Chain A
Amino acid sequence: QVQLQESGPGLVRPSGTLSLVCDVSKLSSTYYWVWIRQPPGKGLEWIGCIYQSGDTYYNPSLESRLMISVDRAKNLLSMQLNSVTAADTAVYFCTRRDSGAYGDWFDPWGQGTLVTVSS
């Protein structure tokens, strides 16, 4: 079973860049790898994903500030979000998108990492 673990700075200054990595025990090329976030006390927001080809799909609400990449040699999934504000404060999860005849779903998930945007 693949395992995922996020890591990041914990605290980012407003207008700065939020950079996170997700250590994936087995970064298979046949899946999409996904970032999802959850502001404190709120619901889940899909950030974006990347496929083996390098194709990326971003949430339009974040697209102008976002970059997702994969380092297959190191089994690392990464994301960078620029020009952050307090609204970007959230727990950030990485996960794998699986798919079949009945649609797509996310499993498994990392444990999440809290990023706070504050001066």
Chain B
Amino acid sequence: DIEMTQSPSSVSASVGDRVTITCQASQGISSWLAWYQQRPGKAPKLLIYGASNLHSGVPSRFSGSGSGTDFTLTISSLQPEDFATYYCQQAKSFPVTFGGGTKVEIK
């Protein structure tokens, strides 16, 4: 299985801050990476696919980059509705695997 490692596991930030989350794959996955946002008690929502493609309706303050084994999700200016947990996901090979999650908390 391809292991996905996210860091940090949690981050405290203020509204307006720039936040960066990293995801590392245990082997190369090209650009076959997606990012999701999950608010408490809700289903995950797709933010980014193909490592850097913004899903329809997702604010432009979200961006993704990377390829191979190292990926980044950046929130350029954190908004109150962005406090949530974020997951990366690889679909290069079965079984599909997710990172352990990064919780973005209010400072």
Contact = CB atoms under 8 A, between A and B. Distances in A.
A and B held together in a complex: yes
Interface of A: 43-46, 57, 59-61, 93, 95, 97-107, 109-112
A105 B42 contact: no
B43 A103 contact: no
Contact of B98 (A46, A97, A98, A110): A46
Contacts of B33: 103
Contacts of A109: 43-45
A103 B98 contact: no
B87 interface: yes
A36 B78 CA distance: 28
B66 interface: no
Interface in B11-54: 30-34, 36, 42-46, 49-51, 53
Contacts of A104: 32, 34, 91, 96
